[in-house]
Structure 1
Amino acid sequence: MEPREPLAPFLLAFPGPLRDRLVAAVLSGEKVSTTGLLCEYELEQEELPPVGERSALIDSDGREVAVVEVTEVRVLPLGAVDLQHALDEGEGYTSVAEWRAGHERFWHSEEMREALGDPAFTVDDGTMIVAERFRVVERLG
C-alpha cells in the first residue's frame, strides 16, 4: 500500500457512545449525511468542506477507520431540512420532527454548549446548518 497524504479528521459528535454508533452507521453504509451548525464553522474560523474533499473518519479511540469524500454541501435554515436528509443520517429517524428532536438534544447538551462557549445556546427554525453528504471511499485498518 502506498503512503498517503495526511487527511483532515472527519469527526462525528463527541467521543463516546454516540460517536461509536455514528461511525458504525457510516461503515455499514446507513449513514451518508450529517448535519453541523454553521456557527461552529464560524467559531472555529473553518472553511466549509468543498465537494470532493477527502477526510479520515475518526472513531472514539482517535483511530482513522475510513476515508470519506464529501459529495454535497448545503447551507440552509434548520426549518428547511427535508425528510431525505433526515433518513440519510442513518440514525433510524422516520420523520423530520424525530430527526430534529434528536439533534436539538445534542445541540442543547451541556457538552455542545460548552464547545460553543454559550451556556444558553438554542436553535430555532432560522438557525443556519450545514448539511453534508459523503461516501466512504476506503476502509482503513
Structure 2
Amino acid sequence: MELGTPGEMRRELTDLTLSGAKQATAGLLELDYHAENEALEHIGERLAVVDDSGARVAVVEVVGIRLVPFAGVPWEFALAEGEGYRSIEHWREVHRRFWAAEGCQIDDSSTVVCLWYRLVSL
C-alpha cells in the first residue's frame, strides 16, 4: 500500500500510520481501482505499507471497507484518517483538491472507497 503521492506527503502519511494515528485511508473507485484494474481489498487482507523507495516499512490488516458517495463520507472516517481535519467540510475540501491535482474531477456522487486498517507489524 502506497499512501498519498511520493515525497513529503507519503512520508507524512506513512509516519502517521506507523504511529497509530492514521487508521484509515480514502481512495476513489474510478481512479484508484477501475483505472488501474485493481480489485477492492477485503476484510482480513494484509497489506505491506511501502515507502518512496518501495521498501516495506509495515504491515497493516484491513478491518473495514465501505463504498460511499463523496458527499456521504462520515466524520468518523475523516477522524480515523488521522490527518488533523477540522471538520468533514475540511476533509472534503482537501480531498477534492488532491484528486483534482491527480486529474480527477469529482462530484458529490463520486464513489469513495473508505478503508480502515490496523497496524500489524513494523
Q: Give the residue type in structure 2 aligned to 1:63.
A: A
Q: Is 1:129 the counterpart of 2:120 in the alignment?
A: no
Secondary structure in structure 1 of the residue aligned to 2:77: helix
State how far apart, in whole Å, the 1-side matches of 2:40 and 2:83 are: 23
State how far apart, in whole Å, the 1-side matches of 2:116 and 2:51 are: 19
| Stretches of structure 2 lacking an aligned partner (at least 5 in a row) | none
Among residues 7, 11, 14, which one is paired with 1:23 in the alignment?
Answer: 14
State how far apart, in whole Å, the 2-side matches of 1:14 and 1:69 are: 21
**Residue matched to 1:32:** 23
Q: Which ranges of 4 or more aligned residues in structure 1 deviate by more than 4 Å? A: none
State how far apart, in whole Å, the 2-side matches of 1:87 and 1:95 are: 9
Q: How many residues align?
A: 121
Larger Rg: 1
Determine what percentage of the aligned residue pairs are the same residue: 42
Q: Is 1:59 the counterpart of 2:51 in the alignment?
A: yes
CA RMSD of aligned residues (A): 0.8
State how far apart, in whole Å, the 1-side matches of 2:48 and 2:97 are: 26
In terms of mean alpha carbon deviation, does 29-38 or 56-65 score higher? 56-65
Query: Does the CA-based 8 Å contact 1:108-1:122 persist in structure 2?
Result: yes
Q: Give the residue type in structure 2 aligned to 1:43.
A: A
In terms of mean alpha carbon deviation, does 40-49 or 69-78 score higher? 40-49
1:104 CA displacement: 1.2
- What is the TM-score normalised by the length of structure 1? 0.83
1:37 CA displacement: 0.2
| Stretches of structure 1 lacking an aligned partner (at least 5 in a row) | 1-9, 114-120
- What is the TM-score normalised by the length of structure 2? 0.95
